[in-house]
Chain A
């Protein structure tokens, strides 16, 4: 069955082209605009995304920290209240169950914001591995989430919120703040490579918050944006997508996520396997398409006649104006400047290895 977010009717009214994603019906673009227009709005002004399909799973209890430390690859021991952290959740073999961000409310309460498609898998995995005094509380169906992204996002928020209620630092959040009268939790986070905020609140306030934000941002050029722009924005920003760059079979070290994989930590599920595997032989890297064509996911990558890897995502980059792809390839071919070829429908397209991210905002 296709699930709907609380904003389904708003999307349809705004001309959203609804598609199924992670079990939810969500807009890929909106009819009055286009993917490229939505993408550019986020890079230059601001865009509003409904990301209510994301799961919000709470871990609560005296042993919550201990459980977070055991389940997740990052180190949460020195994390402060009001901080947000990116992490992987690994399986015993070191493959990735999911990747997500974790909010610390207090020593006994953490929120995990997980990928929609992995929500059930994550919940089952967590349940199986909980120890001590810690309960899992899946609030996904009660919480709506909006992502307000773009250089003008803060300016727009200031029309609806007091300045002290808007998180000033990247990867921090504030709890129970008023957005023009509606209680929200709000973090300075996102999936676009721009300044941006993610806003959590009760489902029943979804239409109110959505409309308030769109109205407040009208002058600044804020428009609703769909999954299509979300994907091209995150690809340019070098951010991995579960199911593409990350799977149960790919390790965090192969995916170049060492920063979130703390092998010095006493223990976490998957650590032993990762230590045993040692330095990976393949790695995630970017590619610029120098030939003609678009390279999408699952294209075999060749150096001469030797197959050296595969593409995991790819699209035309609206910001750069040429096609880009992310690759999982043999480390020997991952040096920037290396000339390779991608095979697309039987045709070889020249590509060049480049560093990630493709796009970085000026601060």
Chain B
């Protein structure tokens, strides 16, 4: 299973790509998350400009079988939404590390629980 080294991870199986200045984050679901969810058929995306706080749910991911919420690991403002996922949510299954969901900018706080690739891999091994 792939755990790209350049990314950070949450215990809720999201990946987070932080900009160098730590002010912007791109967020998606990990390969393990998409495997657990199965065929993704709809993602209820937020609006650009929405303010978001750590632990807030910003999207609902519906697979054929279940629905899961995606929680924000940062406090900031939603600056971009991947609208390709409106018509093609299955991209998260096909290429989870390319199919980003949102970009959050003007970050004022980042959760202190982010994991590096190694730490996340360990977590997945424990859950599996």
Contacts and interface: CB of A to CB of B under 8 A. Distances in A.
Interface of A: 28-29, 31, 34-36, 228, 231-232, 292-294, 296, 315-316, 318, 323, 345, 347
28 contacts: A28-B65, A29-B38, A29-B65, A31-B35, A34-B93, A35-B39, A35-B63, A36-B39, A36-B64, A228-B38, A228-B64, A228-B65, A231-B65, A292-B42, A292-B86, A293-B42, A293-B62, A294-B41, A294-B42, A294-B67, A296-B67, A315-B64, A315-B65, A316-B39, A316-B41, A316-B42, A316-B64, A347-B44
Most A CB atoms within 10 A — which of B41, B44, B60, B64? B64
Interface in B51-105: 60, 62-65, 67, 86, 93
Nearest to B44: A293
A177 B43 CA distance: 49
Contacts of B64: 35-36, 228, 232, 315-316, 318
A125 B93 CA distance: 46
Contacts of A316: 39, 41-42, 62, 64
A34 B62 contact: no
Most A CB atoms within 10 A — which of B39, B63, B93? B39
Given A35-B65, A228-B65, A294-B67, A345 B42 contact: no
Contacts of B62: 293-294, 316
Given A31-B35, A35-B38, 6 more contacts: A36-B64, A228-B65, A292-B44, A316-B41, A316-B64, A323-B41
Closest CB pairs A-B (n = 9)? A316-B41, A294-B62, A36-B39, A35-B64, A228-B65, A316-B64, A34-B39, A35-B38, A35-B39
Contacts, number: 43
A34 B67 contact: no
A276 B76 CA distance: 61
Contacts of A35: 38-39, 63-65
B38 A34 contact: yes
B16 to A, nearest CB: 24
Contacts of B35: 31
Interface string B35-49: 100110110100000
Contacts of A28: 65
Q: What DSSP secondary structure best describes chain A's contact surface?
A: mixed
A47 to B, nearest CB: 15
A317 to B, nearest CB: 9
A231 to B, nearest CB: 8
A267 to B, nearest CB: 42
A316 B64 CA distance: 6
A246 to B, nearest CB: 21
B96 to A, nearest CB: 14
Contacts of A323: 41-42
A40 B106 CA distance: 45
A293 B60 CA distance: 9
Nearest to B60: A345
Contacts of B38: 29, 34-35, 228
A49 to B, nearest CB: 16
A153 B98 CA distance: 40
Contacts of A347: 44
A232 B86 CA distance: 22
Most A CB atoms within 10 A — which of B38, B65, B93? B65
Contacts of B44: 292-293, 347
A324 B39 CA distance: 16
Nearest to B89: A316
B23 to A, nearest CB: 31
Contacts of A36: 39, 64
A28 B44 CA distance: 24
Contacts of A345: 60
A207 B38 CA distance: 27
A355 B42 CA distance: 24
A357 B35 CA distance: 31
A232 B41 CA distance: 13
A347 B41 CA distance: 18
A52 B63 CA distance: 27
Most A CB atoms within 10 A — which of B41, B67, B86? B41
A29 B60 CA distance: 22
A345 B44 CA distance: 11
B64 to A, nearest CB: 5
A311 to B, nearest CB: 14
A231 B64 CA distance: 10
